[in-house]
Structure 1
Amino acid sequence: MIRIVCGELVTGRVLATVPTTDTGGGWSTVLNDAGSVDAVVPLRAREVRARRELLGYLEPTRCYLAAVTEDDVVLEAGPIWKHGFDDNTGELKVGAAGLMSLFDHRLVVKVLAAGERAQTTTLSWSGLSLGTIAKRLVQTAMSHTGGTLPIVLPDDEPGTAARNYPGYELGVVGERVRQLVEVEGGPDVALQPRLVDGGTRLEWVMRTGTSADPLLHQDGDDWAWDRGAARGSLTKLSVDVDATGVAQRTWAIGSGMETALMLGTAYDPTPLAAGYPLLEATGSFTSVIEQPTLDAHAAALADTARRPWQTWSLTVRADASPKLGTYRPGDWARVHVPDTHEYLRPGRYRSRVLSLSGDLSASVSVKLAPTMEHR
């Protein structure tokens, strides 16, 4: 169902399909982060020992691993970072991460002219969308000698955002991109791998949300899974509930110290009347100097602390509709829960796909974004 291939990172050239043990491989892909690809190679197997070139194809940082479906859809791909050889079994575990992981090893520094010092330079962009500034960070990292990668960059989008990155900070590209994602209205960012040139080469398409639609998601209808269908693709639905963040009174900590410390608070006594104990939570906002702003932060904390958060994990068949490779992290999904379910209330629940993971079999784990518990 899933095969693992390896290749040259800088050129994207596919070198080989990696021979693995029957269960020796796994993959994951995550919204706004690097996923993973793993392969377990039986080095003592006769057919593997005959391939003397194989270890050279699995060289850390120079080569990549990619998890590919039978329809040649690349689920995740990126540089190899780890080897682990087990002398008892003769197996080599090769660990790779999505291409986004490489940008945790690239710095935000301009290409220096002769005699120029990094600490006296600044990269500045304005009049652009946050997604295009993320593109500029990646583009600049690739402009250095040896920095080229097979990434297809998106078109520029004008906007009102501006960012300055002094060279003396030696900021990490991956961290700076994540900071753009995490601000209010920040865009999703993905490096989506795909096979090109008849399957002989791999490239990554950089996708970013826009100012009008910052979320990356599918076009068209939500993907649908039905827990009540006898022969459906959804075979398991697990639920985790976390109430450790629940609070009826929240405190926002602002600027100042000791008795001059600024505090904002919000309080909802309604649950106490229903028999719940008083719970409290705090948040730090030390740069805030305006009381109304601090009170607004406290109210926002209260909104997220009102009820427990629950996370759904689905186990689905890769070869049934919707088929693996058609849905990705960030897409919207709708799950039908029948009235026979032992734990959840019946209905149709909508959430975003947060991550996907699996091995080399026809089973896929789909994690949905946490949602506030319904009562």
Structure 2
Amino acid sequence: MTRYFIGDLRSRSLAVRNLDVLSGPWSDRIGAPESVDVTVDMNSPEIRSLNLRNVATPAKAYLGVEEGGVIMACGPIWTRNYDRDAGTLKLGALGWGSYYNHRLILPLLAKTIGLDQWTVPDPADPTKTIPNPLLSTVINGVSLGTRAKRLIQQAHLWTGGALPIVFQDDELADLTKTYLGADFKSVGEAIKQISELENGPEMKFQSRFTTDGMGVEALFRTGTVAQPLLTSQSVPLWDLTAPQSAASGLKIDEDASEMGSMAWQTGGRQADTVLVARAYDPLLVDAGYPLMELADTSHSGVSVQATLDSYAADDVAAGRYSTETWSFTAQAKPVDADGNPAGPAVGSYAVGDFADLGVAPFDPATGRGDAYLQDGGPFRHRIVGLSGDEKGDSIKIQLAPKVGI
């Protein structure tokens, strides 16, 4: 059963446990906050009794959606739109991580220190000033995921600044990072940058009901040094060509715009010089493709030739193939004619998990199988997006772009 709910951000307590909605699309994607958008009928006596102007206050309340006890998306309400003539109210919420775009990386001292003390004389040159080190946030000896955790925990030290977030244990690592207070960088921006580092961990605020069932909290999950990806051990299987399959609507979008046999890289600008790297792979040309070139100027700060060469080599390796992106629709709770489970049910898989898609080989005599994927076989992809609506009948599943299928 699809159910929408509203609660108080800071206290985590539920205020509305079953919100009747006209529409309620939601989505969850890797690298982006979850989203929930609902429209309710203000002409309904039940809705009027909820006093949503006070209960569903933007930036003070959360909105979420669950499927069979599993929260699919939840977070602070940021937008509210009332249309009196239409008799509707729209609420828009984003995942818990969106809150930290509104918090800065600052120690508690920043609240009370004199504004004339944000800079101090430079010990190396007293005629100059530097940012006051007391306002810096220094995080050392922990992994990238724990660094993000520490940034959130520091933000929670401020009065009124704590959300109901549960954290994993620390992970140690020989890393150090300093954030200057005078940069006024948001916690959300820093977390995003940590994830985007090479081998940076994936991160997710995973919503769940509290053990007493009276509220909602979120587990801040991060990948580890050994396993940066957030994924489970189970791999659901959808058989796309089986009779009465629980999956339908398969779409495969292919993009060859990043293919190429010759790759160029430029760097050295920060060292006031010009570095050029070049790599060539004859595979495509030998197979009858026309020559295609790739150029990347985004590594202008690289001053080591070998490093630039490796980027060019990576480009031609990736350029051998087009990119395919698969998506399909799955029944939320598939059952057979006897009412028994007949495929993966919503809540048993999540964004980040791997999934197998079964496709039968094409038989031209009978027309069975898949006429496009004629060799058939299981195809393994990673789930990067889930979305649904108030009907709760089906889940749209977006799979990670795949190169070299």
1:365 is aligned to 396
Whichever residue aligns with residue 208 of structure 2, its letter is: R
Matched, 1:306 2:348: no
Question: How many Å separate the matches in 1 of 2:101 and 2:273?
Answer: 39
Whichever residue aligns with residue 358 of structure 2, its letter is: H
Question: How many Å separate the matches in 1 of 2:50 and 2:308?
Answer: 64
SS of residue in 2 equivalent to 1:228: coil
1:251 is aligned to 264
* Equivalence map 1:227-238=2 (5 Å): 227-238=240-251
Whichever residue aligns with residue 52 of structure 2, its letter is: L
* Equivalence map 1:324-335=2 (5 Å): 324-335=346-357
1:75 is aligned to 72
Question: How many Å separate the matches in 2 of 1:305 and 1:89?
Answer: 52
* Equivalence map 1:21-170=2 (5 Å): 21=22, 24-49=23-48, 51=49, 53-69=51-67, 71-112=68-109, 114-115=112-113, 117=117, 119-120=131-132, 121-170=135-184
2:192 is aligned to 178
Whichever residue aligns with residue 184 of structure 2, its letter is: L
Whichever residue aligns with residue 5 of structure 1, its letter is: F
Q: Contact 1:215–1:330 at 8 Å: present in 2 too?
A: yes
Whichever residue aligns with residue 330 of structure 1, its letter is: G
Aligned match for 2:223, one of 206, 209, 224: 209
Whichever residue aligns with residue 403 of structure 2, its letter is: M
Q: Contact 1:335–1:350 at 8 Å: present in 2 too?
A: yes
Question: How many Å separate the matches in 2 of 1:86 and 1:128?
Answer: 50
SS of residue in 2 equivalent to 1:112: helix
1:346 is aligned to 376
Question: How many Å separate the matches in 1 of 2:293 and 2:82?
Answer: 49
Output one character per residue of 1:42-96: Cα deviation in whole Å (capped at 9) or x when no partner. 11234323x1522211111101101111x21111110001122345532222110
Aligned match for 2:385, one of 330, 345, 355: 355
Q: Contact 2:21–2:390 at 8 Å: present in 1 too?
A: no
Question: Once structures 1 and 2 are overlaid, which stretch shifts more, 306-315 or 265-274?
Answer: 265-274
Deviation at 1:303, TM superposition (A): 2.0
SS of residue in 1 equivalent to 2:317: helix
Whichever residue aligns with residue 350 of structure 2, its letter is: R
Question: How many Å separate the matches in 2 of 1:305 and 1:92?
Answer: 48
Question: How many Å separate the matches in 1 of 2:113 and 2:85?
Answer: 55
1:18 is aligned to 19
Aligned match for 1:239, one of 252, 258, 281: 252
1:281 is aligned to 294
Whichever residue aligns with residue 67 of structure 1, its letter is: V
Q: Contact 2:284–2:320 at 8 Å: present in 1 too?
A: no
Question: How many Å separate the matches in 1 of 2:394 and 2:402?
Answer: 24
Question: How many Å separate the matches in 2 of 1:268 and 1:88?
Answer: 64
Whichever residue aligns with residue 236 of structure 2, its letter is: W
Question: How many Å separate the matches in 2 of 1:331 and 1:227?
Answer: 18
**TM-score with structure 1 setting the length:** 0.93
Question: What percentage of residue pairs aligned between the two structures are identical?
Answer: 36
**TM-score with structure 2 setting the length:** 0.86
Rg (Cα) greater in structure: 2
SS of residue in 2 equivalent to 1:33: coil
Q: Contact 1:33–1:190 at 8 Å: present in 2 too?
A: no
Question: How many Å separate the matches in 2 of 1:313 and 1:86?
Answer: 35
Whichever residue aligns with residue 172 of structure 2, its letter is: P
2:6 is aligned to 6
Question: How many Å separate the matches in 2 of 1:269 and 1:197?
Answer: 59
Question: How many Å separate the matches in 1 of 2:251 and 2:61?
Answer: 36
Whichever residue aligns with residue 370 of structure 1, its letter is: P
Whichever residue aligns with residue 76 of structure 1, its letter is: A
SS of residue in 2 equivalent to 1:214: coil
Whichever residue aligns with residue 211 of structure 1, its letter is: V
Question: How many Å separate the matches in 2 of 1:373 and 1:298?
Answer: 18
Output one character per residue of 1:326-360: Cα deviation in whole Å (capped at 9) or x when no partner. 21111111111222213224111112110111112
CA-atom RMSD in angstroms: 1.8
Whichever residue aligns with residue 4 of structure 2, its letter is: I
Runs of 4+ deviating beyond 4 Å: 116-119
